[in-house]
Structure 1
Amino acid sequence: MAFYATANLQDQYKRDYITMASPIDLIIMLYEGCIKQLKLAKIHKENNELDKVSECFQKAEDIILELVGSLNLSISISENLLELYQFMLDEIVQANITKDMERVDPVIEMMTLLYEAWNEIKVKAESDIYTQNEE
């Protein structure tokens, strides 16, 4: 009984965290989730758990599609991100079909670079807010 109560509290905490997260935090969480799913896919492939590999790839694809949906195409960099996301989706689909995990490494690398860039944006934004509040 205590296990279920703890699990429910953890689920509620996650829901609350996501609900209250800033747009930047949500983007960062999406990148984290995609990276996690791609790394899990590689682990499952090593363990010959092909159904779990496909499941992880599907989750990664869903995350990238969520990132695509968040793009504001009136901003010029969004077009570049859209092309990058399309490349990533294509690589994940091909990796899922062929189980060629080497195709996943560049996607993880690109996702990691984007994750780091958004973290820098967050730090800068928080620093700017802190500086404004001191004035």
Structure 2
Amino acid sequence: MSASKHYQTYQNNSVNTASKGELTLMLYNGCIKFIKQAIKDMDQQYYEAKNTNIQKAQNIIQELMVTLDQKAEISKQILPLYEYMTHRLREGNINNEVAALEEVLQLTTEFRDTWKQVILKTRQNQYSAQGARV
């Protein structure tokens, strides 16, 4: 088996065994990766690749929007931000505006970092609760 097949198997296993929180973190990381690549593509005037990477980032944000728990109050605050991010990606794509992509990159990074802290805090609470039961 080649190295790339091993890596693909590892990635598939990572996704298949991840918790919902970890999957959300993976989505944020993917979005960040595609925005960064789109910025590089724009700088190098690879406009077709830029468009493809921006569309991938938009698709991830759409997935994040769909998976929001509409019953949670925080979702009502996050949804407009996701909509704004999608709008700015579209503007950045149409106008070849790096600043728009960088703005969304910053927002996505903040969401990711916050989400990472939520996951860590949740794990700490779970381990603390398990330790108390032993």
TM-score (norm 2): 0.95
1:118 aligns with 2:105: no
Q: CA deviation at 1:6?
A: 1.9
For structure 1, the 5+ residue unaligned runs are: none
2:80 match:
83
Q: Please state if 1:13 is matched with 2:10.
A: yes
Alignment deviations for residues 61-81 of structure 1 (CA, whole Å, 9 cap, x no partner): 010011011101111110111
Q: How does 1:53-68 map to 2 (within 5 A)?
A: 53-68=50-65
Identity among equivalent pairs (%): 26
1:134 to 2:134 alignment: no
Once the 2 structures are TM-superposed, how far is the Cα of residue 132 of structure 1 from its aligned partner? 1.3
* Equivalent position SS for 2:45: coil
State the Cα deviation string for residues 98-117 of structure 1 (Å, max 9, x = none). 11111111111111111011
Structure 2 gaps of 5+ residues are: none
CA distance in 1, matches of 2:14, 2:36: 24
Which runs of at least 4 in structure 1 moved beyond 4 Å after TM superposition? none
Q: Distance in 2 between matches of 1:112 and 1:88?
A: 12
Alignment match, 1:52: 49
Offset of 1:120 from its aligned partner? Answer: 0.5
Corresponding residue pairs, total? 132
Cα deviation, residue 129, structure 1? 1.2
1:31 to 19, 28, 36: 28
Deviation of 1:83 after TM superposition, in Å, equals: 0.4
CA distance in 2, matches of 1:70, 1:88: 16
CA distance in structure 2 between the partners assigned to 1:91 and 1:104 by the alignment = 7
Between the aligned partners of 2:3 and 2:33, the Cα distance in structure 1 is 24
Question: Does the residue aligned with 2:68 lie in a helix, a strand or coil?
Answer: coil
**Matched residue, 1:41:** 38
Task: Tell me the amino acid that sits aligned with residue 7 of structure 2.
Answer: Q
Q: Give the one of 74, 94, 97 matched to 1:97.
A: 94
Distance 2:107 2:96 in 1: 20
